[in-house]
Amino acid sequence: MIEAVRALGEGINRVAGMYEKGEVFMPEVLLSSDVMYAAFNILKPHVKPGEGRAKKIVIGTVEGDVHDIGKNILKAILAAAGFEVVDPGRDVPVEKFVSAVMENGADALQ
């Protein structure tokens, strides 16, 4: 399962590289990210967490940053690896991160 998630990450990275070279434009990048998220949603129910208590990780994008494609790729990879991932979203103030860690008893913050 993790191989499928990694393949999606590699695909979106390839699209990002094509965008940087001017080979595709923003509409294609946005469409590609929509496809990637749809595929993640299909794969997510099939992810089997590891034995014992899964480690909890809070992951988000800090206030002032609305770019979350990389965060979502990492989130999918962590979930596929058996981590319990809490995502407060993007453009998140520091206080909300602290609250998410405390409320969920997270083991890590990314």
User: Low-confidence residues of the chain, pLDDT below 50?
Assistant: none
Q: Model's pTM, two decimal places?
A: 0.61
Beta bridge partner(s), residue 86: 58
Do residues 76 and 9 touch, judged by C-beta distance below 8 A? yes
| Spatial contact of 47 and 1, defined as CB atoms under 8 Å apart | yes
pLDDT digits (tens, 9 = 90+) for 45-55: 776 655 556 78
Q: What is the pLDDT of residue 1?
A: 65
pLDDT, one tens digit per residue, over 18-37 is 988 999 998 888 888 888 88
CB of 60 within 8 A of CB of 97? yes
Instruction: Give the model's pLDDT for residue 73.
Output: 79
Q: Residue 50 has what pLDDT?
A: 54
Domain architecture of the chain: domains with CATH? 2-109 (3.40.50)
